[in-house]
Homo-oligomer: A and B are copies of this chain.
Amino acid sequence: MSTAFEFADTPKPPYYVVVFTNTKTHSQAGYGEMAERMESLARDQPGFLGIESAGDARAAITLSYWSSLEDIRAWRAHLEHLEAQSKGRELWYSGYRLRVALVEREVSFPAGG
């Protein structure tokens, strides 16, 4: 959230999106570093297609895009990611919803943007 927002350059559907919405605890110490590390780690995983994130001090939505369910499963089971998930539940997230969805259609503005 510290850098400018960038749209993910996703391919023609179908592909998968992991929709992660979370509310935040009062203490976000260490969160930024972990998020940056996880993003850089995710970019190296097989099937990673992109990430988009927006939020404020209370809540955030993070969208990560993937080629297949298997790629998502592998990323969720990655050891360093498992540790980060556990720390998130302990320290940073007061609540979350994680939804896995198959993207069927995409529209851009400006067109072709």
Interfacial residues, chain A to chain B (CB-CB below 8 A)? 1, 4-5, 7-8, 10, 13, 17, 19, 21, 23, 52-56, 58-61, 63, 89, 93, 95-110, 113
Closest to A13 in B: B99
In the complex, the count of this chain's copies comes to: 2
Given contacts A19-B63, A93-B109, A106-B99, contact A5 B52 (CB under 8 A): no
Distance of A89 Cα from B96 Cα, bound (Å): 31
Q: Are B52 and A55 in contact (CB under 8 A)?
A: no
What is the bound-complex CA distance between A91 and B94, given in angstroms?
A: 35
**Known contacts A1-B56, A109-B93; A7/B21 CB under 8 A:** yes
What separation, in Å, do the CA atoms of A15 and B64 have in the docked complex? 19
